[in-house]
Structure 1
Amino acid sequence: MDTLVNLRAYWRFLVVLYQFFPLIVAYTRDRRKYVFFGGRRRVSREMRVERAEVLLASLLTLGPTFIKLGQLLSTRPDILPPEYIEVLGTLQDDVPAAPWPESKQVLEEELGPVEEAFDSFDTDPISGASLGQVYVAEYEGEQVAVKVRRPGIEELVEADLRVIRWSLPLLMHFIGESRAFSLDNLADEFAKTIREEMDYVEEAATLETIQQNFADNGSLVIPTPVHERSDDRVLTMEYLPGTKINNVERLDELGIDRTELASNLQRIYLQMIVEDGVFHADPHPGNLSVTDDGRIIFYDFGMHGEVDPFIQGKIVEFYIAVANQDVDAILDTLIEMGTLSPNVDRQVMGDVMELAIADARGDDIEQYRVNQILEQVESTIYEFPLRLPRNLALVLRVAGVVEGVCVTLDPNFDFISVATNYLTEEGYREESIQKIVEGVGQQAQKTAQSLFRVPPKLDRVLDRADRDNLTVNVKLEDSKGVFDRLAKRLIYGIFLSFGFVSTVLVYALNPENLVAVGAAGIPTAFVAILLWRSFRAKKGIRATPQFTRQNLRERRQE
Structure 2
Amino acid sequence: MALFKAYRRFVVVVWQFLPLVWGYLRDRRRFVLFGGKRRVTTEMRVARARRLLDSLLTLGPTFIKLGQLLSTRPDVLPPEYVEVLADLQDRVPPADYEDAKVVLEDELGPVEERFDDFDDEAISGASLGQVYTAKIDGEEVAVKVRRPDIEGLVEADLRVVRWTLPLVARFVGESRAFSLQNLADEFAKTIREEMDYAREAEMLTEIRGNFADDPSVVIPAVYETHSSNRVLTMEYVPGTKISDVEELDRRGIDREGVAETVERAYLQMIIEDGVFHADPHPGNLAVRDDGAVVFYDFGMSGRVDEFVQSKIVDFYVAVANQDIDAILDALIEMGTLSPEADRATMADVMELAIQDARGEDIETYRVQQIVGQVEDTIYEFPLRLPSNLALVLRVATVVEGVCVTLDPDFDFITVATDYLAEEGYREESVRQFAEETADQFQRSAQSAVRIPPKLESALDRVEREDLHVRADLEDSDGVVDRLARRVVLGLAFATSVPTTAFLYVEADLAAAGVMAAFTAAVGVGLYRSFRKRRGTLATPQFTRQNLGQRRED
Matched, 1:535 2:530: yes
Change (3 A) 1:364 1:188: closer
Name the counterpart of 1:59.
Answer: 56
Distance 1:25 1:545 in 2: 23
| Post-superposition CA distance 1:432-458 (Å, at most 9, x none) | 111111111111112111211112111
Note the 1:307-456 alignment, pairs <5 A: 307-358=304-355, 361=358, 384-456=381-453
Is contact 1:79-1:183 (8 Å) kept?
yes
Distance 1:94 1:69 in 2: 14
Counterpart-to-counterpart distance in 2, 1:140 and 1:72: 39
User: Quick one: structure 1 residues 524 and 224, their matched pair in 2 at CA, closer, same or farther if it must change by over 3 Å?
Assistant: same
Deviations 1:231-278 (A, max 9, x none): 111111111122222334443454433332222222111100111111
Per the alignment, residue 215 of structure 2 pairs with 218
**Structure 1 position 541, deviation (Å):** 2.3
Q: 8 Å contact 1:134–1:145 — kept in the other structure?
A: yes
Q: Which residue of 1 aligns with 2:150?
A: 153
RMSD: 2.4
Matched to 1:515, the amino acid is A
Give unmatched runs, 5+ long, in structure 2.
Answer: 363-370
- Distance change >3 Å, CA 554–CA 533, structure 1 → 2: farther
Residue 179 of structure 1 contacts residue 385 of structure 1 at CA under 8 Å; is this kept in 2? Answer: no
TM-score normalised per structure 1: 0.91
Secondary structure of the 1:86 match is helix
Letter in 2 for 1:171: V
- Within the alignment, does 1:93 sit opposite 2:90 as a pair? yes
User: Equivalent residue for 1:463?
Assistant: 460
Letter in 2 for 1:219: S
- In 2, the alpha carbon distance for the partners of 1:318 and 1:408 equals 25
Which of the residues 275, 278, 282 maps onto 1:285? 282
Q: How does 1:459-538 map to 2 (within 5 A)?
A: 459-510=456-507, 513-538=508-533
Say whether the 8 Å CA contact 1:242–1:290 is kept in structure 2: yes
Match of 1:131 among 116, 125, 128: 128
- Whole-Å Cα distance in 2 between the matches of residues 362 and 249 of structure 1? 22
Aligned partner of 2:367 in structure 1 is none
Give the match for residue 171 of structure 1.
Answer: 168
SS for the counterpart of 1:133 is: strand
Q: 1:490–1:429: structure 2 CA closer, same or farther, 3 Å change rule? A: same
Q: 1:409 is aligned with what amino acid?
A: L
CA separation of 1:128/1:555 partners in 2, compared to 1, >3 Å: closer, same or farther? closer
Question: Cα 1:11–1:407, aligned 2, differ >3 Å: closer, same or farther?
Answer: same
> CA, structure 1 residues 9+128, in 2 after alignment: closer, same or farther (shift >3 Å)?
same
Query: In the superposition, relative to structure 1, how do residues 552 and 135 fare at CA in structure 2: closer, same or farther (>3 Å)?
Result: closer
Matched to 1:102, the amino acid is D
Q: Helix, strand or coil: the match of 2:527?
A: helix
- 1:464 deviation in Å? 0.6
> C-alpha offsets along residues 58-108 of structure 1, whole Å, 9 cap, x if unaligned?
111111100100111112111111111111111112321111111111111
Asked if residue 110 in structure 1 is aligned to residue 107 in structure 2, the reply is: yes
Query: CA 1:517–1:468 in 2, change beyond 3 Å: closer, same or farther?
Result: same
Return the alpha-carbon distance in structure 2 between the equivalents of residues 145 and 502 of structure 1: 88
Amino acid corresponding to residue 335 of structure 1 in structure 2: I
Answer whether contact 1:267 1:422 (CA < 8 A) is retained.
Answer: yes
Secondary structure in structure 2 of the residue aligned to 1:138: strand
- Which amino acid is 1:235 matched to? L
Cα distance in 1 for residues equivalent to 2:80 and 2:361: 29
2-side partners of 1:122 and 1:176: how far apart? Answer: 51
Higher mean displacement: 466-475 or 494-503: 494-503
Alignment gaps of 5+ in structure 1: 366-374
1:364 shift after superposition: 9.8
Whole-angstrom distance in 1 between the partners of 2:219 and 2:360: 40
Paired residue secondary structure (2:232): strand
Which residue number corresponds to residue 368 of structure 2?
none
Cα gap change, 1:132/1:546 in structure 2, threshold over 3 Å: closer, same or farther?
Answer: closer
**1:368 maps to which residue?**
none
Q: What CA distance in whole angstroms lies between the structure 1 residues aligned with 2:336 and 2:531?
A: 33
Structure 1 residue 45 corresponds to structure 2 residue 42: yes
1:233 to 209, 227, 230: 230
Cα distance in structure 2, aligned partners of 1:359 and 1:219: 28
Q: Which residue of 2 aligns with 1:190?
A: 187
CA contact 2:99–2:148 (8 Å) conserved in 1:
yes
Inter-CA distance 165–86: structure 2 relative to 1 (3 Å threshold): same
Partner of 1:200: 197
CA drift of 1:294 comes to 2.6
CA-CA distance at 1:497 after TM superposition? 2.5
**Residue type at the aligned position of 1:267:** R
Take 2:74 and 2:361, find their aligned partners in 1: how far apart are those partners? Answer: 29
Counterparts of 2:484 and 2:52, CA distance in 1: 43
| Equivalent position SS for 2:302 | strand
Could you list the per-position Cα deviations for residues 408-440 of structure 1 after superposition, in whole angstroms to 9, with x for gaps in the alignment?
A: 333333322221121111110110111111111
With normalisation by structure 2, the TM-score equals: 0.92
Asked if the contact 1:77–1:382 (Cα under 8 Å) also holds between the matched residues in 2, the reply is no
Q: Which residue of 1 aligns with 2:366?
A: none
Partner of 2:262: 265
* Match of residue 84 from structure 1: 81
Deviation at 1:401, TM superposition (A): 2.1
Q: 1:181 aligns with which of 178, 198, 207?
A: 178
How many angstroms does 1:555 deviate by? Answer: 7.3
Q: Give the conservation status (yes or no) of the 8 Å contact 1:31–1:40.
A: yes
The 3 A distance-change label for structure 1 pair 415 and 173 is same
Looking at structure 2, the residues matched to 346 and 452 of structure 1 have their Cα atoms a distance apart, in angstroms, of 33
1:251 is the counterpart of 2:232: no
**Letter aligned with residue 109 of structure 2:** G
Query: In the alignment, residue 242 of structure 1 is paired with which amino acid?
Result: G
Conservation of the 8 A alpha-carbon contact between 1:82 and 1:382: no
Q: Which amino acid aligns with 1:28?
A: L
Measure, in 1, the Cα distance between the counterparts of 2:284 and 2:356: 32
Structure 1 distance, partners of 2:112, 2:262, is 39
2:341 partner amino acid: V
Higher mean C-alpha deviation, range 347-356 or range 151-160? 347-356
Amino-acid identity (%): 63
Q: Give the Å deviation of 1:505.
A: 2.0
SS of corresponding position for 2:457: helix
